[in-house]
Amino acid sequence: MKLKWSHTVLNIKNAEKILDFYVGTLGFQISDRGPLAKNGPEIIFMSQDPNEHHQIGLVVSREDEGPSNSLNHLSFRVDSFDDVKTMKNKLESANVDILPLCHGNALSLYFKDPEGNGLEVFWDTPWHVTQPQTVVWDTNLNEKEALAWVEETFKDKPNFTKLENYKSDFVNRNL
């Protein structure tokens, strides 16, 4: 059996503020919303994928003022380096603080939603390297420069290899 990630549900406090961020800044679409039960809290379902009814659910039930303490972050893979740059620009336009981290195997942007939930948007590099690895990267680099920087920065780290080699080894060790 292979488990595939489907969705995450967050408890939130302020639906308007959160929806402005997830819909307006991140580009999710509301697929459904309504009360969980009679007189129960509202749940809002959102997705960017027509094959997934919801990738994120939001239950308007949080009462505490501080950031959530049970979630580290939600992570979203994008298809291209340009997608990372586009997201960087959207986040900057929304005055969101960004921590750009490279793990050798991914170029990531870490940030928080308006209620303090951690989020990551990342693009896979063509390499694998033993994790954890974290180095701040320059988001002003273009794709060619960024990939050259990743290779130079991580080439001497444990198990640095092309991603296809890692995948082949992974499949073979699980036979």
The domains found in the chain, sorted by start residue, are 1-62 (3.10.180.10), 72-175 (3.30.720.110)
Q: Percentage of the chain surpassing pLDDT 70?
A: 95
How large is the average pLDDT for residues 80-95? 96
Share of the chain above pLDDT 90, in %: 67
The predicted model scores a pTM of: 0.81
φ/ψ of 21, rounded to 5, equals -70, -55
Cα(107)–Cα(100) distance, integer angstroms: 8
Q: Which whole number is the average pLDDT over 133-151?
A: 97
Return the higher-pLDDT residue of 144 and 166.
Answer: 144
The pLDDT score that the predictor gives to residue 68 is 65
20-24, 84-88, 117-121 — which is least confidently predicted? 117-121
d(CA 145, CA 96): 25
5 touches 105 (CB < 8 A): no
| Distance (Å, whole) CA 6 – CA 71 | 16
Q: Is the pLDDT of residue 5 over 90?
A: no
Burial status of residue 18 (CB atoms within 10 A of its CB: 0-12, 13-18, 19 or more) = buried
Neighbours of 5 (CB within 10 A): 9
pLDDT at 16 over 50: yes
The least confident of 26-30, 70-74, 151-155 is 70-74
Given a cut of 80, is residue 24 above it in pLDDT? yes
Predicted confidence at residue 175, as pLDDT, reads 54
Q: pLDDT value at position 20? A: 96
Question: What pLDDT sits at residue 37?
Answer: 83
* Predicted pLDDT at 52: 87
pLDDT at 1: 39
